[in-house]
Structure 1
Amino acid sequence: MSPGHVPLPQPESARPLPPEEFARWYGPWDPLTPDSIAGFLEGFDRPWWIVGGWALENATGVSRSHEDMDVSIAHHDAEALRVFLAERGWTTWNADSGWLRPFDERFREIRSDSGIWVRADARSPWVLDVPLTRFNGDRWTNKRLPSQEYDLDEVTWVAEDALRYLNPEVVLLMKAAQVRDKDIVDAEATLGFLDERQRAWLRGTIVHLDPTHPWAA
């Protein structure tokens, strides 16, 4: 194990850690919200967009609880984000398959489909989770189906709060990879808000990935 690597505990069946166990290992979350994220990233001159639960809530208006704040950027902008946050006193960490390590001048090489966690220091709570999105040039690439490429405007939208969000059908596709209880709740709350084009895209992509998937219907 290289210096600086912190192995993530691998619980039986790889189930997510409950909040209290997560906090014991890594510290608590005090996440940003859509009301505070714009100020936090003010001056960062690369595209970013909100994904996950906040994207669904903004698209549907259906309130839900939020464990964190997820914002995505293009994988080739990871270094720019690291420098931007470091200059403002924040530390960045690279979360990848089974481990967590500092993402700083010592460890600058990270995989294009990993993520960045952000906090002030080791004694402070996490405030932001940044899953990276692979781009082919300036084209957004579907991490679950890399043959799908789109302009960013095709898979995101700008809401009344002037923030950019991932389309709800794309959020549900990402959630279909795990189908946790909360993902099922999100799907049930969101599907009724999708138009036929969005539903057809979601259905077709899921069937392409796995015709036996419970959401294929």
Structure 2
Amino acid sequence: MFSKASAPWWVAGGYAIELAVGRPLREHHDIDILVLRRDQLIVQDVLAGWEWWVADPAGLLRPWQPGELLPVGVHDIWCRPAEDTPWRIQVMLDESGEEGWVSRRNPGVRRPLAELGAVTVDGVPYLRPEVQLFYKAKTPRPKDEVDFAAVLEVLDGAQRRWLADAITCAYGPHPWAGLLTCG
């Protein structure tokens, strides 16, 4: 559905990890998509006819109105085809500046847009694994630890250094940072 989007987007979350390692790792309950805040209204275009609910304030859902621009601080949009169906897509909004992507967790963590994602053989864009793991590192859950362990085998030295630096910059000392420098 997002292939017709007029702005960049990336598969995120656990599916991004699986696309990076080339195999399924675990069960998923929805599909995560990352869109830059500046391009947020493409979600309404791509998912026309769906329900869109925004976590605003965090922890509570409210309908997202057509054409409504969500402010900084609002990051999650939950989407489903109809009221009586489960949530199918979670869209995460992230920040950008003149030089590219800017982490909403720490503006010191940045990356050019051209280095934010990768593309599958079929042309599906997904977040590079080190960027996705950066988000998962904030408060890792058991499934995040599974994803981290699987990605370690595919990260090259530059990806490991970027992730270790980004984690340390945003979160301080972290158990993953030490593991990234040992491989």
Q: TM-score per shorter chain, which class?
A: 0.7 to 0.9
| Residue 195 (structure 1) aligned with residue 156 (structure 2) | yes
Contact 1:71 1:128 in 2 (8 A): yes
Q: Which has the larger displacement, 92-101 or 175-184?
A: 92-101
Name the aligned partner's letter for residue 182 of structure 1: K
Residue 111 of structure 1 and its aligned partner are, at CA, apart by 2.9
Instruction: Report SS of the residue matched to 1:73.
Output: strand
Structure 2 counterpart of 1:71: 33
Give unmatched runs, 5+ long, in structure 2: 179-183
For the residues of structure 2 that align with 1:163 and 1:143, how far apart are their CA atoms?
24
Structure 2 counterpart of 1:23: none
Residue 109 of structure 1 and its aligned partner are, at CA, apart by 4.1
Contact 2:109 2:166 in 1 (8 A): no
Structure 1 counterpart of 2:142: 181
> Cα deviation per residue 1:31-50 (whole Å; 9 max; x = unaligned)?
xxxxxxxxx22432111111
Contact 1:94 1:100 in 2 (8 A): yes
For the residues of structure 1 that align with 2:50 and 2:172, how far apart are their CA atoms?
44
**TM-score, scaled relative to structure 1:** 0.74
Instruction: Report SS of the residue matched to 1:98.
Output: coil
Structure 2 counterpart of 1:58: 19
Contact 1:62 1:189 in 2 (8 A): no
* Correspondence 1:129-148 to 2 at 5 A: 129-137=90-98, 139-148=100-109
Give unmatched runs, 5+ long, in structure 1: 1-39
Name the aligned partner's letter for residue 118 of structure 1: C
Contact 1:82 1:103 in 2 (8 A): no
Structure 2 counterpart of 1:207: 168
Residue 127 of structure 1 and its aligned partner are, at CA, apart by 1.6
Identical-residue share of aligned pairs (%): 37
Q: Which has the larger radius of gyration?
A: 1
Structure 1 counterpart of 2:181: none
> Cα deviation per residue 1:145-198 (whole Å; 9 max; x = unaligned)?
212332211121112121111110111111001111111111111112100111
> What value does the CA root-mean-square deviation take over the aligned residues?
1.9
Instruction: Report SS of the residue matched to 2:165.
Output: helix
Name the aligned partner's letter for residue 114 of structure 1: H
For the residues of structure 2 that align with 1:207 and 1:138, how far apart are their CA atoms?
21
* Correspondence 1:6-25 to 2 at 5 A: none
For the residues of structure 2 that align with 1:204 and 1:150, how far apart are their CA atoms?
12
Contact 1:82 1:104 in 2 (8 A): no
Instruction: Report SS of the residue matched to 1:184.
Output: helix
Instruction: Report SS of the residue matched to 2:29.
Output: coil
* Aligned residue pair count: 175
| Residue 92 (structure 1) aligned with residue 52 (structure 2) | yes
Displacement over 3 Å in runs of 4+: none
Structure 2 counterpart of 1:43: 4
Cα 1:170–1:42 change in 2 (3 A) is closer
